[in-house]
Protein backbone atom coordinates (compact mmCIF):
# COMPACT_ATOMS: atom_id res chain seq x y z
CA UNK A 1 0.00 0.00 0.00
CA UNK A 2 1.41 3.39 -1.06
CA UNK A 3 1.34 5.94 1.77
CA UNK A 4 0.55 9.06 -0.33
CA UNK A 5 -3.17 9.73 0.15
CA UNK A 6 -5.60 10.30 -2.72
CA UNK A 7 -8.25 12.99 -2.25
CA UNK A 8 -11.32 12.76 -4.51
CA UNK A 9 -13.20 16.06 -4.52
CA UNK A 10 -16.95 15.73 -5.10
CA UNK A 11 -19.83 18.12 -4.64
CA UNK A 12 -22.93 19.66 -6.15
CA UNK A 13 -22.68 21.88 -9.22
CA UNK A 14 -21.65 25.38 -8.15
CA UNK A 15 -20.17 24.32 -4.83
CA UNK A 16 -16.70 25.49 -5.95
CA UNK A 17 -14.89 22.17 -6.49
CA UNK A 18 -12.62 23.39 -9.28
CA UNK A 19 -11.72 26.60 -7.42
CA UNK A 20 -11.13 24.51 -4.29
CA UNK A 21 -8.79 22.25 -6.31
CA UNK A 22 -6.91 25.29 -7.62
CA UNK A 23 -6.40 26.68 -4.12
CA UNK A 24 -5.40 23.29 -2.70
CA UNK A 25 -2.90 22.83 -5.51
CA UNK A 26 -1.29 26.26 -4.92
CA UNK A 27 -1.35 25.76 -1.14
CA UNK A 28 0.59 22.48 -1.42
CA UNK A 29 3.07 24.07 -3.82
CA UNK A 30 3.64 26.87 -1.32
CA UNK A 31 4.61 24.21 1.25
CA UNK A 32 7.04 22.63 -1.23
CA UNK A 33 4.77 19.59 -1.48
CA UNK A 34 3.52 19.62 -5.09
CA UNK A 35 0.61 17.20 -5.55
CA UNK A 36 -0.20 14.82 -8.39
CA UNK A 37 -3.27 16.36 -10.07
CA UNK A 38 -5.94 14.51 -12.10
CA UNK A 39 -8.92 16.07 -13.88
CA UNK A 40 -11.91 13.79 -14.51
CA UNK A 41 -14.31 16.42 -15.81
CA UNK A 42 -14.50 15.95 -19.61
CA UNK A 43 -16.91 18.86 -20.14
CA UNK A 44 -14.89 21.66 -18.52
CA UNK A 45 -13.68 24.23 -21.05
CA UNK A 46 -10.69 25.47 -19.04
CA UNK A 47 -8.86 24.04 -16.05
CA UNK A 48 -7.28 26.75 -13.83
CA UNK A 49 -4.48 24.47 -12.62
CA UNK A 50 -1.84 22.22 -14.14
CA UNK A 51 -2.87 18.56 -14.55
CA UNK A 52 -0.64 15.53 -14.62
CA UNK A 53 -3.49 13.49 -16.12
CA UNK A 54 -6.43 15.11 -17.92
CA UNK A 55 -9.38 13.07 -19.19
CA UNK A 56 -9.77 15.58 -22.02
CA UNK A 57 -6.48 14.40 -23.54
CA UNK A 58 -7.88 10.92 -24.18
CA UNK A 59 -11.65 11.50 -24.54
CA UNK A 60 -13.20 14.27 -26.62
CA UNK A 61 -16.46 15.24 -24.97
CA UNK A 62 -18.10 16.90 -27.98
CA UNK A 63 -17.20 14.03 -30.29
CA UNK A 64 -18.79 11.61 -27.81
CA UNK A 65 -21.99 13.66 -27.93
CA UNK A 66 -22.03 13.63 -31.73
CA UNK A 67 -21.04 10.01 -32.22
CA UNK A 68 -23.46 8.52 -29.69
CA UNK A 69 -26.23 11.14 -30.04
CA UNK A 70 -26.11 11.99 -26.33
CA UNK A 71 -27.00 14.94 -24.16
CA UNK A 72 -24.57 16.64 -21.76
CA UNK A 73 -24.98 14.26 -18.83
CA UNK A 74 -25.04 11.14 -21.00
CA UNK A 75 -21.84 12.26 -22.73
CA UNK A 76 -20.13 12.80 -19.35
CA UNK A 77 -21.05 9.30 -18.21
CA UNK A 78 -19.93 7.78 -21.52
CA UNK A 79 -16.64 9.70 -21.40
CA UNK A 80 -16.02 8.37 -17.89
CA UNK A 81 -16.87 4.86 -19.10
CA UNK A 82 -14.28 5.14 -21.88
CA UNK A 83 -11.71 6.53 -19.46
CA UNK A 84 -12.42 3.76 -16.91
CA UNK A 85 -11.36 1.10 -19.43
CA UNK A 86 -7.78 2.40 -19.08
CA UNK A 87 -7.82 2.99 -15.32
CA UNK A 88 -5.12 0.34 -14.80
CA UNK A 89 -2.72 2.43 -16.89
CA UNK A 90 -3.61 5.52 -14.84
CA UNK A 91 -2.89 3.68 -11.58
CA UNK A 92 0.47 2.52 -12.96
CA UNK A 93 1.41 6.09 -13.88
CA UNK A 94 0.49 7.38 -10.43
CA UNK A 95 2.41 4.55 -8.72
CA UNK A 96 5.55 5.34 -10.71
CA UNK A 97 5.43 8.97 -9.51
CA UNK A 98 4.41 8.14 -5.94
CA UNK A 99 7.86 8.99 -4.55
CA UNK A 100 7.69 12.51 -5.99
CA UNK A 101 4.44 13.76 -4.40
CA UNK A 102 2.74 13.74 -1.01
CA UNK A 103 -0.88 13.97 -2.21
CA UNK A 104 -2.87 12.93 -5.26
CA UNK A 105 -5.89 15.20 -5.77
CA UNK A 106 -8.71 14.43 -8.21
CA UNK A 107 -11.35 16.80 -9.59
CA UNK A 108 -14.67 15.24 -10.66
CA UNK A 109 -17.54 16.42 -12.90
CA UNK A 110 -19.89 19.12 -11.63
CA UNK A 111 -22.81 16.75 -12.15
CA UNK A 112 -22.09 14.73 -9.03
CA UNK A 113 -24.49 11.89 -9.91
CA UNK A 114 -22.56 11.23 -13.15
CA UNK A 115 -19.56 10.19 -11.06
CA UNK A 116 -20.82 8.91 -7.72
CA UNK A 117 -23.73 6.81 -8.99
CA UNK A 118 -22.22 5.56 -12.26
CA UNK A 119 -20.42 2.27 -12.80
CA UNK A 120 -17.33 4.07 -14.11
CA UNK A 121 -17.18 6.27 -11.00
CA UNK A 122 -17.26 3.18 -8.79
CA UNK A 123 -14.53 1.51 -10.89
CA UNK A 124 -12.26 4.56 -10.70
CA UNK A 125 -12.83 5.00 -6.95
CA UNK A 126 -12.23 1.30 -6.24
CA UNK A 127 -9.06 1.30 -8.36
CA UNK A 128 -7.51 4.14 -6.33
CA UNK A 129 -8.79 2.82 -2.99
CA UNK A 130 -7.17 -0.57 -3.70
CA UNK A 131 -3.74 1.04 -4.13
CA UNK A 132 -3.71 4.30 -2.14
CA UNK A 133 -5.31 5.55 1.09
CA UNK A 134 -8.32 7.26 -0.53
CA UNK A 135 -10.40 10.02 1.06
CA UNK A 136 -13.62 11.65 -0.17
CA UNK A 137 -13.80 15.44 0.19
CA UNK A 138 -17.44 16.50 -0.07
CA UNK A 139 -17.55 20.20 -0.96
CA UNK A 140 -20.62 22.17 0.23
CA UNK A 141 -21.70 25.66 -0.77
CA UNK A 142 -22.01 27.27 2.69
CA UNK A 143 -24.22 30.28 1.80
CA UNK A 144 -26.73 28.03 0.04
CA UNK A 145 -26.86 25.71 3.06
CA UNK A 146 -27.95 28.41 5.49
CA UNK A 147 -31.53 27.10 5.22
CA UNK A 148 -32.12 24.08 7.50
CA UNK A 149 -33.94 22.17 4.75
CA UNK A 150 -31.08 22.71 2.26
CA UNK A 151 -28.54 21.83 4.95
CA UNK A 152 -30.27 18.57 5.81
CA UNK A 153 -30.47 17.69 2.10
CA UNK A 154 -26.71 18.18 1.75
CA UNK A 155 -26.05 16.08 4.83
CA UNK A 156 -28.30 13.31 3.56
CA UNK A 157 -26.43 13.29 0.26
CA UNK A 158 -23.12 13.17 2.13
CA UNK A 159 -24.39 10.20 4.14
CA UNK A 160 -25.38 8.34 0.97
CA UNK A 161 -21.95 8.98 -0.59
CA UNK A 162 -20.20 7.71 2.55
CA UNK A 163 -22.11 4.43 2.51
CA UNK A 164 -21.80 4.14 -1.28
CA UNK A 165 -18.01 4.50 -1.38
CA UNK A 166 -17.24 3.03 2.07
CA UNK A 167 -14.29 5.43 2.36
CA UNK A 168 -13.26 8.09 4.91
CA UNK A 169 -15.00 11.42 4.29
CA UNK A 170 -14.26 15.04 5.05
CA UNK A 171 -17.13 17.52 4.81
CA UNK A 172 -15.78 20.85 3.54
CA UNK A 173 -17.91 23.95 3.97
CA UNK A 174 -16.59 26.16 1.18
CA UNK A 175 -17.03 29.90 0.52
CA UNK A 176 -16.65 30.91 4.16
CA UNK A 177 -15.49 34.32 2.94
CA UNK A 178 -19.16 34.94 2.05
CA UNK A 179 -20.74 33.32 5.10
CA UNK A 180 -19.14 31.60 8.07
CA UNK A 181 -19.89 27.94 8.68
CA UNK A 182 -20.36 28.30 12.44
CA UNK A 183 -24.11 27.76 12.13
CA UNK A 184 -23.58 24.45 10.30
CA UNK A 185 -21.14 23.13 12.90
CA UNK A 186 -23.57 24.14 15.65
CA UNK A 187 -26.44 22.32 13.95
CA UNK A 188 -24.31 19.17 13.68
CA UNK A 189 -23.32 19.29 17.35
CA UNK A 190 -26.57 20.45 18.95
CA UNK A 191 -29.83 18.84 17.82
CA UNK A 192 -31.96 21.35 19.74
CA UNK A 193 -30.34 24.27 17.94
CA UNK A 194 -31.27 22.71 14.63
CA UNK A 195 -34.84 22.17 15.80
CA UNK A 196 -35.06 25.79 16.85
CA UNK A 197 -33.81 26.94 13.45
CA UNK A 198 -36.44 24.80 11.79
CA UNK A 199 -39.19 26.46 13.77
CA UNK A 200 -38.07 29.92 12.69
CA UNK A 201 -37.28 29.01 9.09
CA UNK A 202 -39.50 31.11 6.77
CA UNK A 203 -39.35 28.40 4.09
CA UNK A 204 -41.35 26.08 6.35
CA UNK A 205 -44.30 28.57 6.44
CA UNK A 206 -45.06 27.62 10.01
CA UNK A 207 -45.48 23.97 9.05
CA UNK A 208 -42.93 22.66 11.51
CA UNK A 209 -44.28 24.72 14.43
CA UNK A 210 -47.66 22.99 14.39
CA UNK A 211 -46.11 19.58 13.69
CA UNK A 212 -48.25 18.80 10.66
CA UNK A 213 -47.35 18.18 7.06
CA UNK A 214 -45.02 15.92 5.13
CA UNK A 215 -42.01 18.26 5.12
CA UNK A 216 -41.94 18.76 8.88
CA UNK A 217 -42.03 15.04 9.69
CA UNK A 218 -39.46 14.24 6.99
CA UNK A 219 -36.92 16.84 8.10
CA UNK A 220 -37.40 15.91 11.74
CA UNK A 221 -36.82 12.21 11.03
CA UNK A 222 -33.73 12.88 8.92
CA UNK A 223 -32.20 15.15 11.53
CA UNK A 224 -32.61 12.44 14.17
CA UNK A 225 -31.10 9.80 11.89
CA UNK A 226 -28.11 11.95 10.88
CA UNK A 227 -27.13 12.77 14.47
CA UNK A 228 -25.05 9.58 14.72
CA UNK A 229 -23.68 10.12 11.20
CA UNK A 230 -22.24 13.50 12.25
CA UNK A 231 -20.08 11.86 14.92
CA UNK A 232 -18.01 9.98 12.29
CA UNK A 233 -17.30 13.04 10.13
CA UNK A 234 -14.45 15.49 10.07
CA UNK A 235 -15.80 18.97 9.28
CA UNK A 236 -13.60 21.73 7.88
CA UNK A 237 -14.52 25.31 6.94
CA UNK A 238 -12.54 26.68 3.99
CA UNK A 239 -12.49 29.56 1.57
CA UNK A 240 -11.15 28.72 -1.85
CA UNK A 241 -11.01 32.45 -2.56
CA UNK A 242 -8.85 33.54 0.38
CA UNK A 243 -7.15 30.24 1.25
CA UNK A 244 -8.51 30.27 4.80
CA UNK A 245 -8.81 26.87 6.49
CA UNK A 246 -6.61 24.82 4.14
CA UNK A 247 -4.12 23.96 6.88
CA UNK A 248 -7.04 22.49 8.81
CA UNK A 249 -8.02 20.54 5.69
CA UNK A 250 -4.50 19.06 5.35
CA UNK A 251 -4.55 18.08 9.03
CA UNK A 252 -7.90 16.38 8.46
CA UNK A 253 -6.39 14.46 5.52
CA UNK A 254 -3.56 13.19 7.74
CA UNK A 255 -6.09 12.07 10.34
CA UNK A 256 -8.26 10.30 7.77
CA UNK A 257 -5.20 8.62 6.24
CA UNK A 258 -4.40 7.04 9.59
CA UNK A 259 -8.04 6.06 9.97
CA UNK A 260 -7.97 4.46 6.52
CA UNK A 261 -4.86 2.40 7.31
CA UNK A 262 -6.19 1.28 10.70
CA UNK A 263 -9.86 0.65 9.90
CA UNK A 264 -10.85 0.92 6.27
CA UNK A 265 -7.92 -1.01 4.78
CA UNK A 266 -8.63 -4.06 6.96
CA UNK A 267 -12.34 -3.84 6.21
CA UNK A 268 -11.68 -3.63 2.49
CA UNK A 269 -9.39 -6.67 2.64
CA UNK A 270 -12.14 -8.60 4.41
CA UNK A 271 -14.72 -7.54 1.80
CA UNK A 272 -12.38 -8.53 -1.06
CA UNK A 273 -11.74 -11.97 0.47
CA UNK A 274 -15.46 -12.54 0.96
CA UNK A 275 -16.12 -11.48 -2.62
CA UNK A 276 -13.44 -13.87 -3.93
CA UNK A 277 -14.91 -16.71 -1.86
CA UNK A 278 -18.41 -16.01 -3.19
CA UNK A 279 -17.09 -15.93 -6.76
CA UNK A 280 -15.27 -19.24 -6.23
CA UNK A 281 -18.40 -20.88 -4.82
CA UNK A 282 -20.44 -19.49 -7.71
CA UNK A 283 -17.98 -20.95 -10.24
CA UNK A 284 -18.11 -24.36 -8.57
CA UNK A 285 -21.91 -24.19 -8.55
CA UNK A 286 -22.02 -23.32 -12.25
CA UNK A 287 -19.56 -26.12 -13.02
CA UNK A 288 -21.75 -28.60 -11.15
CA UNK A 289 -24.81 -27.48 -13.10
CA UNK A 290 -22.88 -27.81 -16.35
CA UNK A 291 -21.77 -31.35 -15.52
CA UNK A 292 -25.33 -32.30 -14.61
CA UNK A 293 -26.63 -30.81 -17.84
CA UNK A 294 -24.07 -32.83 -19.81
CA UNK A 295 -24.97 -35.98 -17.92
CA UNK A 296 -21.53 -36.36 -16.35
CA UNK A 297 -21.87 -38.10 -13.00
CA UNK A 298 -19.38 -38.70 -10.24
CA UNK A 299 -18.85 -42.48 -10.16
CA UNK A 300 -15.37 -42.46 -8.67
CA UNK A 301 -16.66 -44.10 -5.50
CA UNK A 302 -17.64 -47.19 -7.53
CA UNK A 303 -14.17 -47.62 -9.09
CA UNK A 304 -11.49 -49.56 -7.23
CA UNK A 305 -8.60 -47.61 -5.78
CA UNK A 306 -6.05 -49.43 -7.98
CA UNK A 307 -8.07 -48.62 -11.11
CA UNK A 308 -8.37 -52.31 -12.21
CA UNK A 309 -11.44 -54.49 -12.75
CA UNK A 310 -11.65 -57.93 -11.23
CA UNK A 311 -13.10 -60.97 -12.95
CA UNK A 312 -16.80 -60.65 -13.51
CA UNK A 313 -16.75 -56.82 -13.36
CA UNK A 314 -17.30 -54.82 -16.49
CA UNK A 315 -17.96 -51.30 -17.56
CA UNK A 316 -21.71 -51.67 -17.24
CA UNK A 317 -21.57 -52.80 -13.61
CA UNK A 318 -19.38 -49.84 -12.66
CA UNK A 319 -21.61 -47.34 -14.48
CA UNK A 320 -18.62 -45.64 -16.11
CA UNK A 321 -19.59 -42.81 -18.45
CA UNK A 322 -17.80 -43.08 -21.77
CA UNK A 323 -17.67 -40.66 -24.64
CA UNK A 324 -19.87 -42.82 -26.87
CA UNK A 325 -22.62 -42.66 -24.23
CA UNK A 326 -22.48 -38.89 -24.19
CA UNK A 327 -22.50 -38.75 -27.97
CA UNK A 328 -25.56 -40.94 -28.19
CA UNK A 329 -27.36 -38.86 -25.56
CA UNK A 330 -26.56 -35.59 -27.25
CA UNK A 331 -27.50 -36.91 -30.66
CA UNK A 332 -30.96 -37.78 -29.42
CA UNK A 333 -31.57 -34.22 -28.21
CA UNK A 334 -29.71 -32.39 -30.95
CA UNK A 335 -32.65 -32.10 -33.30
CA UNK A 336 -34.96 -29.14 -33.30
CA UNK A 337 -38.63 -29.70 -32.68
CA UNK A 338 -40.89 -29.29 -35.68
CA UNK A 339 -44.57 -28.56 -35.98
CA UNK A 340 -46.80 -31.50 -36.77
CA UNK A 341 -47.82 -29.96 -40.10
CA UNK A 342 -44.26 -29.13 -41.07
CA UNK A 343 -42.64 -31.63 -43.44
CA UNK A 344 -38.98 -32.46 -42.83
CA UNK A 345 -36.57 -31.60 -45.59
CA UNK A 346 -35.25 -34.60 -47.50
CA UNK A 347 -31.57 -35.07 -48.08
CA UNK A 348 -30.54 -37.12 -51.10
CA UNK A 349 -27.42 -39.28 -51.15
CA UNK A 350 -28.18 -40.34 -54.71
CA UNK A 351 -28.41 -38.09 -57.77
CA UNK A 352 -31.40 -35.79 -57.56
CA UNK A 353 -33.04 -37.00 -60.75
CA UNK A 354 -35.22 -39.29 -58.57
CA UNK A 355 -34.37 -42.26 -60.88
CA UNK A 356 -31.47 -43.22 -58.64
CA UNK A 357 -33.61 -43.94 -55.58
CA UNK A 358 -34.39 -47.51 -54.53
CA UNK A 359 -38.13 -48.08 -54.29
CA UNK A 360 -40.78 -50.66 -55.16
CA UNK A 361 -40.49 -49.88 -58.86
CA UNK A 362 -36.74 -50.53 -58.98
CA UNK A 363 -35.52 -53.51 -60.99
CA UNK A 364 -35.81 -56.78 -59.00
CA UNK A 365 -32.19 -57.79 -59.73
CA UNK A 366 -30.94 -54.45 -58.36
CA UNK A 367 -33.00 -54.85 -55.21
CA UNK A 368 -31.55 -58.35 -54.69
CA UNK A 369 -28.00 -57.04 -54.96
CA UNK A 370 -28.67 -54.31 -52.38
CA UNK A 371 -30.22 -56.89 -50.03
CA UNK A 372 -27.20 -59.19 -50.34
CA UNK A 373 -24.81 -56.34 -49.66
CA UNK A 374 -26.83 -55.36 -46.57
CA UNK A 375 -26.77 -58.91 -45.15
CA UNK A 376 -23.03 -59.24 -45.77
CA UNK A 377 -22.36 -55.94 -43.94
CA UNK A 378 -24.51 -57.00 -40.97
CA UNK A 379 -22.72 -60.37 -40.75
CA UNK A 380 -19.29 -58.71 -40.84
CA UNK A 381 -20.25 -56.18 -38.16
CA UNK A 382 -21.60 -58.83 -35.78
CA UNK A 383 -18.50 -61.01 -36.17
CA UNK A 384 -16.28 -58.00 -35.58
CA UNK A 385 -18.23 -57.09 -32.40
CA UNK A 386 -17.88 -60.63 -31.07
CA UNK A 387 -14.15 -60.57 -31.78
CA UNK A 388 -13.78 -57.24 -29.88
CA UNK A 389 -15.66 -58.61 -26.84
CA UNK A 390 -13.45 -61.72 -26.77
CA UNK A 391 -10.28 -59.60 -26.94
CA UNK A 392 -11.53 -57.39 -24.07
CA UNK A 393 -12.27 -60.42 -21.86
CA UNK A 394 -8.79 -61.84 -22.56
CA UNK A 395 -7.13 -58.53 -21.65
CA UNK A 396 -9.00 -58.18 -18.35
CA UNK A 397 -8.18 -61.76 -17.38
pLDDT at 10: 95
Indicate whether this model's pTM tops 0.85: no
Ranges of each domain in the chain: 6-200+219-263
CB 22 within 8 A of CB 243: no
The Cα–Cα gap between 258 and 242 comes to 28
Chain center to CA of 242 = 39
pLDDT (0 to 100) of residue 161: 93
Residues 6+ apart with CB under 8 A from 241: 19, 23, 175, 177
CB count in 10 Å sphere of residue 27: 18
On whether the 6-200+219-263 domain is CATH 3.40.50.300, my answer is: yes
pLDDT tens, per residue, the chain with 397 residues: 457 899 999 999 889 999 999 999 999 999 999 999 999 999 998 899 999 999 999 999 999 999 999 999 999 999 999 999 999 999 999 999 988 899 999 999 988 889 999 999 999 999 999 889 999 999 999 999 998 888 988 998 998 999 899 899 999 999 999 999 999 999 988 888 888 888 887 766 555 544 456 777 778 778 877 877 888 789 999 999 999 999 999 999 999 998 888 887 777 778 778 888 888 888 888 888 888 877 775 544 444 444 444 444 444 444 444 444 444 444 443 333 334 444 444 333 434 444 444 455 555 666 677 677 767 765 665 555 556 655 655 555 5
Q: Determine the pLDDT at residue 348.
A: 38
How does strand 104-107 pair with strand 6-11? parallel
pLDDT score recorded for residue 353 = 43
Q: What is the C-alpha to C-alpha distance for residues 378 and 358, in angstroms, rounded to an integer?
A: 19
d(CA 376, CA 382): 10
Amino acid sequence: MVNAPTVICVGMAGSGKTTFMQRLNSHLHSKKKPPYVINLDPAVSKVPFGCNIDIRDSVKYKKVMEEYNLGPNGAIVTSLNLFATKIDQVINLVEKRADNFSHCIIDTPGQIECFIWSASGAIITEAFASTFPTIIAYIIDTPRSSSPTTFISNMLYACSILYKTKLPMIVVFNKTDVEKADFAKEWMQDFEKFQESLRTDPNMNGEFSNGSGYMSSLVNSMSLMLEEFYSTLDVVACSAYTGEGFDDFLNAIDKKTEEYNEVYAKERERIIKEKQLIEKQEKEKNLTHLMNDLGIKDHTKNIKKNGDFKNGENLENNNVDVLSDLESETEETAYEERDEDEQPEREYTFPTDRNGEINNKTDADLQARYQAAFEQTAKTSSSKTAEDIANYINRTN
